[in-house]
Amino acid sequence: MITKELIDEINALARKQRSAGLTPEEKERQTELRQAYLVSFRENMKSVLDNIEIVDELPKNQQH
Protein backbone atom coordinates (compact mmCIF):
# COMPACT_ATOMS: atom_id res chain seq x y z
CA MET A 1 0.00 0.00 0.00
CA ILE A 2 1.24 3.43 -0.88
CA THR A 3 1.18 5.97 1.92
CA LYS A 4 1.15 9.75 1.79
CA GLU A 5 4.81 9.73 2.85
CA LEU A 6 5.80 7.55 -0.11
CA ILE A 7 3.89 9.77 -2.53
CA ASP A 8 5.61 12.79 -1.00
CA GLU A 9 8.98 11.09 -1.52
CA ILE A 10 8.11 10.29 -5.16
CA ASN A 11 7.16 13.93 -5.70
CA ALA A 12 10.29 15.23 -3.95
CA LEU A 13 12.50 13.08 -6.15
CA ALA A 14 10.64 14.25 -9.26
CA ARG A 15 11.14 17.90 -8.28
CA LYS A 16 14.82 17.30 -7.56
CA GLN A 17 15.23 15.51 -10.89
CA ARG A 18 13.85 18.52 -12.75
CA SER A 19 15.93 21.05 -10.83
CA ALA A 20 19.32 19.54 -9.97
CA GLY A 21 19.31 15.96 -11.20
CA LEU A 22 19.46 12.73 -9.23
CA THR A 23 22.31 10.55 -8.06
CA PRO A 24 22.30 6.92 -9.24
CA GLU A 25 21.01 5.86 -5.80
CA GLU A 26 18.18 8.39 -5.96
CA LYS A 27 17.26 7.26 -9.48
CA GLU A 28 17.10 3.67 -8.25
CA ARG A 29 14.92 4.69 -5.29
CA GLN A 30 12.67 6.69 -7.62
CA THR A 31 12.23 3.65 -9.88
CA GLU A 32 11.43 1.41 -6.89
CA LEU A 33 8.87 3.88 -5.56
CA ARG A 34 7.22 4.32 -8.96
CA GLN A 35 6.96 0.56 -9.45
CA ALA A 36 5.46 0.13 -5.98
CA TYR A 37 2.99 2.92 -6.74
CA LEU A 38 1.95 1.27 -10.01
CA VAL A 39 1.49 -2.14 -8.38
CA SER A 40 -0.67 -0.60 -5.66
CA PHE A 41 -2.66 1.43 -8.19
CA ARG A 42 -3.34 -1.65 -10.32
CA GLU A 43 -4.41 -3.70 -7.30
CA ASN A 44 -6.79 -0.97 -6.15
CA MET A 45 -8.22 -0.50 -9.66
CA LYS A 46 -8.74 -4.26 -10.05
CA SER A 47 -10.54 -4.34 -6.71
CA VAL A 48 -12.81 -1.48 -7.76
CA LEU A 49 -13.59 -3.11 -11.09
CA ASP A 50 -14.18 -6.51 -9.48
CA ASN A 51 -16.77 -4.95 -7.17
CA ILE A 52 -18.77 -3.12 -9.83
CA GLU A 53 -22.32 -4.37 -10.03
CA ILE A 54 -24.64 -3.46 -12.86
CA VAL A 55 -27.91 -2.57 -11.19
CA ASP A 56 -30.28 -1.74 -14.03
CA GLU A 57 -29.07 -3.10 -17.34
CA LEU A 58 -30.93 -1.85 -20.40
CA PRO A 59 -32.55 -4.41 -22.66
CA LYS A 60 -30.44 -5.25 -25.73
CA ASN A 61 -32.75 -3.32 -28.09
CA GLN A 62 -32.43 -0.10 -26.02
CA GLN A 63 -28.65 0.03 -25.68
CA HIS A 64 -26.75 2.75 -27.51
| 40 falls within a domain | yes
- What pLDDT does residue 63 have? 65
- What pLDDT does residue 2 have? 82
> Tens digit of pLDDT for each residue in 13-63?
999 999 999 999 999 999 999 999 999 999 999 999 999 988 887 777 776
| 53 falls within a domain | no
Containing structural domain, residue 14 = 4-47
| 36 falls within a domain | yes
| 54 falls within a domain | no
pTM reported for the whole predicted model: 0.74
Using left for φ > 0, alpha for ψ between -120 and 50, and beta otherwise, residue 21 falls in: left
Q: Over 70: is that where the pLDDT of 6 sits?
A: yes
Query: In 25-37, which positions are buried (b, 16+ CB within 10 angstroms) versus exposed (e)?
Result: eeeeebeebeeee
| 64 falls within a domain | no
What's the CATH number where 24 sits?
Answer: 1.10.287
| 60 falls within a domain | no
What is the domain count for the chain? 1
